[in-house]
């Protein structure tokens, strides 16, 4: 949306009134400031302003933006009109309002001009601020759109590769394992048989690695059965792989599906926080909880590790430690909240909350429809 200068006449009310009062006291005359609709922003004596005000507004409405004087003759000729001097306030060539001072036009003019100049300067400063804010907002919107797009493309790519690994590569490796197993069974020569068994074990190990890779990239379970199933599997694997005890509490949401972007975001946050724990925390125990309530879904991952100074995070982000920064960004795209608390020697807790409007189309509880989540298939 293009920025509209015409919308802005945001003069601080106290500033406007002080300016009016100072000039009114100096000249012992009435003084007013009005906007381009004729609305009075500040006046010295409101009851006595109508005539000058109306003249000024008329001038504006006619499209004239030059300053003009209401003369002695005008005062005599038109009933209620008081002589004085009117000066427009111009912003970028557009008349956004005006400044009027009653009294002898020659005496009133320099005061009116000076005051209009002040008003103009104040408005221009406000306008610059507004423009900067507007540009910043536009930039943020664009950044969010780009980030969203990037995440979408990245997730789609991961989904494809993961499916391929899961459906094609794994199947081929499984066939090779079965073939090698049968071959080993038929082999009479113990040395050759041994070689085949070694080969088969190697392929089995490769199959395991492929499964882990597919799981890291994008678990098929996440799309098929949802966040809880995928998170349970991830936590289980992680605990086995790194020998860290995890208390996971997903029970209350085990039958629930969230919007795909919520599911993938929470899954990625679980991955990153658990990766951080194994990389940095030296923890022996982790607590993971997924809960809902008060229109929000909340994920907590807490460890009993060495902790760290969270104040250093902005410095760390500048030195290519981007995991926490990335989590924050992803959560803000969903209008959620990201918190990290850490105490040296005690551990770290990451909490994220995402709005979860319980509309039917946004969060379908499958237990309600009588459809239970199918049993998870075992890998291998």
Interface pick for Mg ion out of 29, 86, 273, 276 (rule CB under 5 A): 276
Residue 322 binds which one of Mg ion, ligand ATP, none, with CB within 5 to 8 A depending on kind? Answer: ligand ATP
User: Is 38 one of the binding residues for Mg ion (CB under 5 A)?
Assistant: no
Rounded Cα distance, 232 and 249, in Å:
9
Among 11, 253, 324, 354, binds ligand ATP (CB under 6 A): 324
Q: Which two tokens stand for residue 282?
A: 């030296």
Minimum distance of Mg ion from residue 269's CB (angstroms): 11
Q: Which is nearer to ligand ATP, 195 or 344 (CB)?
A: 344
Taking CB under 6 A as the criterion, the residue among 50, 237, 291, 321 binding ligand ATP is 321
Q: Under the criterion CB under 6 A, does residue 304 sit at the interface with ligand ATP?
A: no
Figure out which of the listed residues 102, 303, 304, 336 binds ligand ATP, where binding follows CB under 6 A.
Answer: 303
Query: With CB under 6 A, what is the number of residues at the site for ligand ATP?
Result: 17
Give the whole-angstrom CA distance, residue 191 versus residue 140. 66
> Quick check: helix, strand or coil at residue 337?
strand
Q: Return the structure tokens found at 156.
A: 């789609």
Does residue 281 interact with ligand ATP by CB under 6 A?
Answer: yes
Is 269 within 8 Å of 299 (Cβ atoms)? yes
- Using Cβ positions, the residue closest to ligand ATP within the complex turns out to be 323
Q: Name which of 44, 34, 46, 42 is nearest 9 in CA terms.
A: 34
Q: How far is the CB of 281 from ligand ATP (least distance, A)?
A: 3
- In the structure encoding, which two tokens stand for residue 285, read together? 């125990």
Which residue in this structure is represented by tokens 């760390």? 316
Residues in the chain: 380
End-to-end CA, the chain:
54
Residues lying near Mg ion in the complex (CB under 5 A) are found at 276, 323
Residues lying near ligand ATP in the complex (CB under 6 A) are found at 276-277, 279-281, 303, 305-308, 316, 321-325, 348
């Amino acid at each position: 949306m293009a920025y509209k200068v015409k919308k802005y006449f945001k003069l601080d009310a106290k500033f406007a009134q002080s300016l009016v009062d100072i000039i009114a006291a100096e000249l012992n005359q009435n003084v007013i400031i009005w906007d381009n609709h004729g609305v009075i922003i500040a006046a010295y004596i409101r009851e006595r302003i109508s005539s000058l005000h109306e003249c000024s507004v008329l001038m504006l409405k006619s499209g004239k933006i030059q300053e003009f004087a209401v003369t002695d003759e005008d005062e005599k000729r038109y009933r209620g009109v008081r002589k004085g001097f009117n000066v427009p306030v111009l912003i970028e060539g557009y008349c956004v309002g005006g400044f009027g001072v009653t009294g002898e036009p020659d005496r009133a003019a320099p005061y009116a001009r000076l005051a209009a100049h002040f008003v103009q300067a104040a408005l221009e400063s406000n306008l610059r601020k507004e423009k900067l804010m507007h540009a910043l907002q536009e930039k943020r919107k664009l950044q969010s759109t780009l980030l969203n797009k990037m995440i979408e493309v990245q997730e789609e790519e991961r989904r494809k590769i993961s499916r391929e690994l899961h459906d094609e590569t794994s199947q081929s490796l499984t066939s090779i394992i079965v073939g090698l197993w049968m071959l080993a069974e038929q082999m009479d020569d113990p040395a050759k048989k041994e070689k085949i068994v070694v080969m088969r074990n190697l392929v089995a190990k490769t199959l395991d690695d492929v499964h882990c890779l597919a799981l890291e990239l994008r678990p098929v379970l996440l799309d098929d059965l949802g966040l809880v199933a995928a998170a349970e599997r991830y936590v289980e694997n992680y605990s086995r792989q790194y020998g860290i005890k995890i208390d996971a509490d997903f029970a209350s949401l085990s039958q629930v599906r969230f919007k795909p972007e919520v599911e993938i975001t929470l899954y990625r946050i679980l991955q990153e926080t658990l990766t951080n724990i194994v990389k940095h925390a030296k923890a022996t125990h982790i607590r993971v909880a997924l809960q809902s309530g008060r229109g929000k879904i909340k994920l907590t991952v807490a460890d009993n590790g060495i902790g760290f100074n969270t104040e250093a995070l902005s410095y760390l982000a500048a030195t290519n430690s981007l995991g926490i920064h990335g989590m924050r960004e992803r959560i803000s795209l969903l209008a959620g909240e990201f918190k990290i608390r850490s105490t040296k020697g005690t551990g770290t807790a990451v909490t994220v909350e995402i709005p979860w409007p319980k509309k039917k189309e946004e969060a379908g509880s499958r237990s309600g429809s009588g459809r239970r989540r199918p049993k998870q298939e075992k890998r291998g």
